[in-house]
Structure 1
Amino acid sequence: MTRDDLIEAVREAADADPRVVALFLSGSLGAGDGDRWSDCDFVLVAAPEAHATFVEQARDWIAGICAPVLWRQVYPGVPLFLAVTQAWLRLDLTVTVPSHLNGARATWRPLFDPQGLHDRLPKHPPSRSPGPDKMVAITEEFLRSLGLLPLSIGREEFVVGVTGVGHLRAQLIALLIEGHAPPSPPGALRLSRVLDAEEIALIESLPCPAANREAVIAASMACAAAFLPRARGIAQQLGATWPEALEAAARAHIRRELGIEIPR
């Protein structure tokens, strides 16, 4: 079964199921900019009275189309599921109702839509601005994680330190993404849809450390040098309250424990 076969099989199953009101393809394929690596993001609209039952039976419904080797509900209580097939086709399935549609015509492709729900969607997702509170939360998490550097160094848990560098890098990526304020978060596997070439180059330039003291410290400081000036500048632009006390405490802690200064 190819990806196109999977899409057609899901469409046919939706068409044949009286509980299904509509079926859309979202994500990069729905927006028309997918590639051979893109997964299938399905939004299935169930009749309100059938929604709860359909959610309970979603795995069986998909298994009747393609037996998954992995099935997972992404968030407890949220009707969003992911699956992987034997041929390593990846799909997400969101089960919703007509009153809760939150897509746009430009980013959702109708596969089965006898009631014309697609025509009622806005043409484009609503625009938004970067969130000051989210920027502060990202910055606080970066500083908290950076403050754990003496722990991994002091315990000589350098593998833990490498993991910490990965978390610092992830917070930098989150900061850069929020700076663009996309209507919806990009897939974790395709940052180039949101970040510009300079930002991608910045992330690529950060060292991936070996599991030793010097490399972990150097990589952590490189992340700090990339993150802190950008975060501070964005906070100033948004009028967000910078976590001065937390930054000062992190700087003093690392200076005291490691004898080094966090770049400004």
Structure 2
Amino acid sequence: MFPPEQRDRTQAQLLAHAEADDSIVGFALTGSHATGDGDRWSDTDIVLAVRGEVPEAVQQWTAWIYDEFGARHHWDLGAGGAGVIRVFLLPGWVELDVNFSPESEFGARGPQWRTVFGSPRAQPPFAPPHRNTLVGLTWHHALHARICIERDRPWQAAHWINALRDQLIALACLRLGLPIAYSKGAHLLPEEVTAPLEPTLVRSLTAPELRRALSATITAATAELDLSAPELAPRLRPMLMELA
């Protein structure tokens, strides 16, 4: 994998190219490098403020990144608004995330932001997931895990059990004020939350093992609902236990 110096050189080249591009009027770092928390494994996340047509800037910069860095692949992540987040894979497993933002949408929406040049504008913060949605996904995933076991669809059952565990992590992170997306706060959860999740890991695709893992996950789910949604837990717990 890449040495940190390679990533740093890439970041410097991106900044120089942005400063020379008349259509780019702002450049910001996001992610862990914006707050000084990055380590040698951190990827490069930048935001470009585009004056003019965003699709044209995306096309031109994509061609340049392939030519300059020998990019191997790219894909787009939904950005919301009129922007485009394009994720590039560079040689040496350097990940480069470039947010092409209209000038009017250039600004911090969370704490991980550092303006390098340009004039950021006030933006609404990213909204956390709604607690009720996470609760709904909890019972939904538990139900479908049980149905897939009954249908003898072990791979799909394992998918739903794993997805259910992800919702419990998200609920616990939301409750404790920790980062939620991509389980970024999972390593900060206390042991009393994480220890009951270890038995939820699916160890094989046999029906008895899937039932055991589902039962363990439902036990963890009822415990988390008691803390995250105490007004809903009494009506959901008996139904969840039926699935176990």
Q: TM tier, shorter chain?
A: 0.7 to 0.9
Q: What displacement does 1:78 show?
A: 4.8
Maintained 8 Å contact 2:169/2:186: no
Match in the other structure for 1:28: 32
Maintained 8 Å contact 1:68/1:83: yes
Match in the other structure for 1:221: 215
Match in the other structure for 2:146: 150
Q: What displacement does 1:106 show?
A: 5.7
For 1:87 and 1:95, how far apart are their aligned partners in 2? 24
Q: What displacement does 1:217 show?
A: 0.9
Can you list the C-alpha shifts for 1:20-58, whole angstroms capped at 9, x where unaligned? 1121111011111111221111111112x2434213434
The residue type equivalent to 1:3 in the other structure is: R
Could you say what secondary structure the match of 2:69 adopts? coil
Q: What displacement does 1:205 show?
A: 5.1
For 2:7 and 2:113, how far apart are their aligned partners in 1? 17
Q: How many residues align?
A: 238
For 1:229 and 1:192, how far apart are their aligned partners in 2? 17
Aligned CA distance change for structure 1 residues 201 and 103 (closer, same or farther; 3 Å): farther
Q: What displacement does 1:203 show?
A: 3.7
Can you list the C-alpha shifts for 1:121-165, whole angstroms capped at 9, x where unaligned? 79xx9698x76xx21211111211211233322232222222221
For 2:31 and 2:49, how far apart are their aligned partners in 1? 16
Match in the other structure for 1:258: none
Hey, which bits of structure 1, 4+ residues long, moved more than 4 A?
Answer: 125-128, 243-252
Aligned CA distance change for structure 1 residues 234 and 151 (closer, same or farther; 3 Å): closer
Maintained 8 Å contact 1:9/1:65: no
Structure 1 residue 168 and structure 2 residue 164: aligned?
yes
1:235 to 225, 229, 232: 229
Match in the other structure for 1:211: 205
Aligned CA distance change for structure 1 residues 106 and 224 (closer, same or farther; 3 Å): closer
Match in the other structure for 2:10: 6
Can you list the C-alpha shifts for 1:190-228, whole angstroms capped at 9, x where unaligned? 435753454444444533331111111111111111122
Could you say what secondary structure the match of 1:103 adopts? coil
Q: What displacement does 1:180 show?
A: 3.3
Could you say what secondary structure the match of 2:203 adopts? coil
Structure 2 length as normaliser, TM-score? 0.81
Written as runs of structure 1 = structure 2, the 5 A alignment for 1:128-139 is 134-139=130-135
For 2:216 and 2:96, how far apart are their aligned partners in 1? 36
Written as runs of structure 1 = structure 2, the 5 A alignment for 1:180-195 is 180-181=176-177, 185-186=180-181, 188=182, 190-192=184-186, 195=189
What percent of counterpart residues are identical? 22
For 2:63 and 2:103, how far apart are their aligned partners in 1? 22
For 2:226 and 2:200, how far apart are their aligned partners in 1? 19
Could you say what secondary structure the match of 2:72 adopts? strand
Q: What displacement does 1:97 show?
A: 2.8
Match in the other structure for 2:74: 71
Match in the other structure for 1:259: none
Match in the other structure for 1:19: 23
Match in the other structure for 2:49: 45
Aligned CA distance change for structure 1 residues 165 and 61 (closer, same or farther; 3 Å): same
What 5-or-longer segments of structure 2 have no aligned partner? none
For 1:211 and 1:200, how far apart are their aligned partners in 2? 23
What 5-or-longer segments of structure 1 have no aligned partner? 255-261
Structure 1 residue 92 and structure 2 residue 97: aligned?
yes
Aligned CA distance change for structure 1 residues 99 and 163 (closer, same or farther; 3 Å): same
Aligned CA distance change for structure 1 residues 33 and 196 (closer, same or farther; 3 Å): farther
Q: What displacement does 1:10 show?
A: 0.7
